[in-house]
Homo-oligomer: A and B are copies of this chain.
Amino acid sequence: MKTEPPRRRDRPRLPAAERRRQIIEVTTRLIAERGFWGLSMQDVADGCGLTVPGLLHHVGTKDSLLVAVLEHRDQADNRSLATALGAPEGTSRDDLAGAVSLPQACAAIVRRNAAQPEIVRLFTVLEAESLDPDHPAHDYFKARQENTIATFASLAEGRVADPETLGRQVMALMDGLQIQWLRDPERLDLVAAWAAVSPALFAAFPAG
Are the CB atoms of A180 and B171 closer together than 8 Å? yes
How many Å from the CB of A84 to the closest CB on chain B? 22
Provide the A121-157 mask, 1 if CB < 8 A to any CB of B, else 0: 1001101110110100000011001000000000000
- Given A169-B197, A193-B168; A128-B176 close (CB under 8 Å): no
How many Å from the CB of A185 to the closest CB on chain B? 11
**Chain B, Cβ-Cβ closest to A196:** B165
**What are the residues of chain B within 8 A of A171 when measuring CB–CB?**
176, 180
A26, CB-defined interface residue at 8 Å: no
- Given A125-B131, A200-B201, A203-B203; A183-B145 close (CB under 8 Å): yes
Report Cα–Cα, A142/B179, bound state, in Å.
11
Contacts A125-B128, A168-B193, A169-B193 known; list 13 others, CB within 8 Å.
A37-B38, A124-B128, A131-B179, A131-B182, A165-B196, A168-B188, A171-B180, A172-B172, A172-B173, A172-B179, A175-B176, A175-B179, A200-B200
Residue ranges of A at the interface with B (Cβ–Cβ < 8 Å)? 33-35, 37-38, 121, 124-125, 127-129, 131-132, 134, 141-142, 145, 165, 168-169, 171-177, 179-180, 182-184, 188, 193, 196-197, 200-201, 203
